[in-house]
Amino acid sequence: MSVANLMIEIDLTTLVPTLDNTASEIITYQRDSTVQRKDLAQKTKDFRKLDDSAKLVEVKGLLKGRRTTWL
């Protein structure tokens, strides 16, 4: 099989834009994930500084944030 036939079979003209879009989506997801993790880290630090009665109120939101970042 020649290189030209292989290129036609692979169909690079449609594959390259598809891969570009996929790469962009991955980069966007990674950025969003990093921002969410940093936000959760800050919320965790703030949570540790609260008194016990305030922790009871805030724990549900913190757990929800942790569960969201794991998914």
Given this model, what pLDDT does residue 11 score?
Answer: 81
Which residue's structure tokens are 């942790």? Answer: 66
Please tell me the distance from the alpha carbon of residue 58 to that of residue 60, in angstroms, as a whole number.
6
Distance between terminal CA atoms of the chain?
Answer: 44
Q: So where are the chain's domains?
A: 3-70
Q: Is 70 a residue whose pLDDT tops 90? A: no
| 40 CB-contact burial (10 Å; exposed 0-12 / middle 13-18 / buried 19+) | middle
Please check the confidence at residue 59 and state whether its pLDDT lies above 70. yes
